[in-house]
A and B are shown apart, each in its own frame.
Chain A
């Protein structure tokens, strides 16, 4: 039997989707290890990293700002620099933007209301590490639950990102005032992705959708590949 890939789930004070992410990973054939925000290193076996959803540090200052300078983030930065796959979900996306590992920033929803419902997102790029189990243009049903999910970048940067295929997911309609209805982006190297919708809440038809499994299973694949390269 081959070993199951290991995905590190970083836990900050106020993270609350860490266990959901771990459960989803287990269902998709990976093992998880929780990494507390004060840790300086990721476990050696780490094949991929998830920054989970929640309200790290109570969303003080700006969402994700304080988490972005936590000790564990130095380790995540090194892991990403070595090509390791990193996925930030919701608050994790906010953290990656604040850490400048991803372009843009998440701002308060245009309507100033918390939005909590299923959304339809379109796969704009199916060639990334994270979307390669999807078809180009495929529509995924994924839930969102956030108050600060309006992705923003300056126009010039936005055009460049779109031209380079870094805009990975877009909402089918305006959910929160995101520029270009952006729901998820990837970094230029292609190994760090963030999205506001929650794939970990959509891995079983019983939960209303299993479409999130396509993204997380691709992450599990990437974790197995990275572990092979690193070994």
Chain B
């Protein structure tokens, strides 16, 4: 099983990196609105049970992969 974790700056949290990317894209002539930059983490899992895998990845997220003060996360599971 494979998990993909999407980590994003929480709504309302200033994202200077996103602002810098936005201003660069505008300089390149693209008409863009607000941009937020996050992180993608692909994880290979040995677990076969879907519910168990989700629980494990949730623990990984709250323990290390995301900081709940400033980041939200979303988990996608794929049978591979």
Contacts and interface: CB of A to CB of B under 8 A. Distances in A.
Interface in B4-39: 13-14, 16-17, 20
Interface residues of B, number: 11
A221 interface: no
Contacts of A154: 69
B65 to A, nearest CB: 7
B14 A110 contact: yes
Nearest to B39: A61
A108 B17 contact: yes
A50 to B, nearest CB: 23
A65 B71 CA distance: 13
B67 A98 contact: yes
Contacts, number: 31
A110 B64 CA distance: 24
A112 B16 contact: yes
Contacts of A111: 16
A152 B69 contact: yes
A162 interface: no
Contacts of A180: none
Contacts of A165: none
A104 B69 CA distance: 7
B45 interface: no
A105 interface: yes
A59 to B, nearest CB: 13
A107 B67 CA distance: 11
A138 to B, nearest CB: 30
Interface string A97-114: 010000011011111100
Given A98-B67, A105-B67, 12 more contacts: A61-B65, A62-B67, A65-B67, A66-B64, A69-B64, A104-B69, A108-B16, A108-B17, A110-B16, A112-B17, A152-B13, A153-B69
| For the complex of A and B, 7 pairs with smallest distance between CB atoms | A105-B69, A112-B16, A112-B20, A108-B16, A105-B70, A110-B16, A105-B67
